[in-house]
Amino acid sequence: ASQELSTDTTYYCCCKPKKCEDGAVGSDKNTLAVYTPDENRCCKFKKKRCGALFAFSAYKESKGKEYCETSQVTRYTPAAVNAPQRVATLDPALMEPKSPMHTVSTYCSWDGGSDADEEEEADT
């Protein structure tokens, strides 16, 4: 939903690192400010350059006009996490005693924690 600006004036797309206030508009007093939640950035068209010396405005960061025309929401899809896969727990009573699987299933911790603390306590 692009918003039209008058073509006789040069406008700059200026942003601030905050959410837009309700009803915030650009210098043309007509074009609504645009919020990009992914970047927590509010942008609107201004007549003066972003961060100009005597432009007392929080909108100091210059961005491309697309930031002032529409929200720049990216469809972020997190990458697969390389978490260790859970191994099915087998009942040690059904395994042959002293077999590797019986020993591992009986004596090893499957909670993903470290046994280092238990070993230190046993030494003291």
**Consecutive H or E run containing 116:** helix 116-123
pLDDT tens per residue, range 59-92: 999 999 999 998 887 655 555 555 555 555 667 7
pLDDT tens per residue, range 87-114: 556 677 777 888 887 787 777 766 655 5
Q: How far is CA 63 from CA 38, 43, 93, 109, 115, in A?
A: 15, 8, 66, 53, 52
Rounded to a whole number, what is the distance in angstroms from the first to the last CA of the chain?
70
What pLDDT band is residue 122 in, cutting at 50, 70 and 90? low
**Consecutive H or E run containing 43:** strand 41-46
What was the pLDDT predicted at 65? Answer: 92
